[in-house]
Structure 1
Amino acid sequence: LAEPLAVSWHVARLALKALHSSMDRRALVIGGGAIGLAAALALNAMGVVDVVIVEPDDARRQFLSEQCDQQVVSSTDKSFPIVIDAVGIGVTRASASELVEAGGVIAHVGLGDNGPGFDVRRATLQEITFIGTYTYTAQDFRDTAAALFDGRLGPLNWTETCSLAEGATAFADLRAGRVAVPKVVLEPWA
Structure 2
Amino acid sequence: MRALVLTDFHHLDVVERDRPAPGPGEVLLRICATGICGSDVHGFTGENGRRIPGQIMGHESSGTIAELGEGVDPGAFPLAAPATFNPVVVPEEHVETHRGREHHAPGKHVIGVAAEVQASFADYVVVPERNVLLLDPRMPLHLGALIEPLAVAVHAVGLGDPAPEEKVLVIGGGPIGQSVVIALQRAGVRDIVLSERDPARRELVTALGAVAVDPAAGGMAERVAEVLGGPADLAIDAVGLSPTMADALAATALGGRVVLVGMGSPRLELPAFAISTEERSILGSFTYSAQDFADATAWIGEHAEEVAPLVSAVVGPEKAQESFAALAAGQGPAGKILVRFDAEGSDAGGSGAEGPGAEESGAEEGAA
Residue in 1 aligned with 2:297?
145
The two structures have a TM-score, normalised by structure 1, of 0.85
Post-superposition offset of 1:63:
2.7
Residue in 1 aligned with 2:213?
73
* Cα distance in 2 between the residues matched to 1:120 and 1:184: 38
> RCO greater where, 1 or 2, for CA within 8 Å and sep 6 or more?
1
Post-superposition offset of 1:152:
8.4
CA RMSD of aligned residues (A): 2.4
* Cα distance in 1 between the residues matched to 2:305 and 2:338: 19
Instruction: Tell which structure's C-alpha radius of gyration is larger.
Output: 2
Where in structure 2 are there 5+ consecutive unaligned residues? 1-145, 225-230, 347-368
Does residue 185 in structure 1 map to residue 326 in structure 2? no
Does residue 156 in structure 1 map to residue 305 in structure 2? no
> Within 5 A, what are the aligned runs for 1:11-90?
11-16=156-161, 25-66=166-207, 68-75=208-215, 76-77=220-221, 78=224, 79-90=231-242
Tell me, yes or no, if the aligned pair for 1:87 and 1:110 is still in contact at 8 Å: yes
Residue in 2 aligned with 1:95?
247
Q: Which protein has the bigger helix share?
A: 1
* Cα distance in 1 between the residues matched to 2:301 and 2:341: 26
* Cα distance in 1 between the residues matched to 2:255 and 2:305: 28
* Cα distance in 1 between the residues matched to 2:191 and 2:304: 16
SS of 1:9's equivalent in the other structure is helix
Which moved further from structure 2: 174-183 or 51-60?
Answer: 174-183
The residue identity in structure 2 corresponding to 1:72 is A
Task: Show structure 1 runs of 4+ deviating over 3 A.
Answer: 163-169, 171-180, 187-190
Post-superposition offset of 1:188:
5.2
Instruction: State the percentage of identical aligned residues.
Output: 31
* Cα distance in 2 between the residues matched to 1:171 and 1:55: 22
Does residue 106 in structure 1 map to residue 269 in structure 2? no
* Cα distance in 1 between the residues matched to 2:186 and 2:306: 9
Residue in 2 aligned with 1:135?
287
* Cα distance in 1 between the residues matched to 2:307 and 2:254: 35
Tell me, yes or no, if the aligned pair for 2:204 and 2:309 is still in contact at 8 Å: no
Tell me, yes or no, if the aligned pair for 2:178 and 2:310 is still in contact at 8 Å: no
The residue identity in structure 2 corresponding to 1:121 is F
Is the alpha carbon distance of 1:46 and 1:165 closer, same or farther for their aligned partners in structure 2, counting shifts above 3 Å? same
Tell me, yes or no, if the aligned pair for 2:165 and 2:190 is still in contact at 8 Å: no
The residue identity in structure 2 corresponding to 1:140 is D
> Number of residue pairs matched?
185
Cα offsets for 1:49-96 (capped at 9, x unmatched):
101111110122123224x33321113322311000001122211211
Is the alpha carbon distance of 1:54 and 1:104 closer, same or farther for their aligned partners in structure 2, counting shifts above 3 Å? same
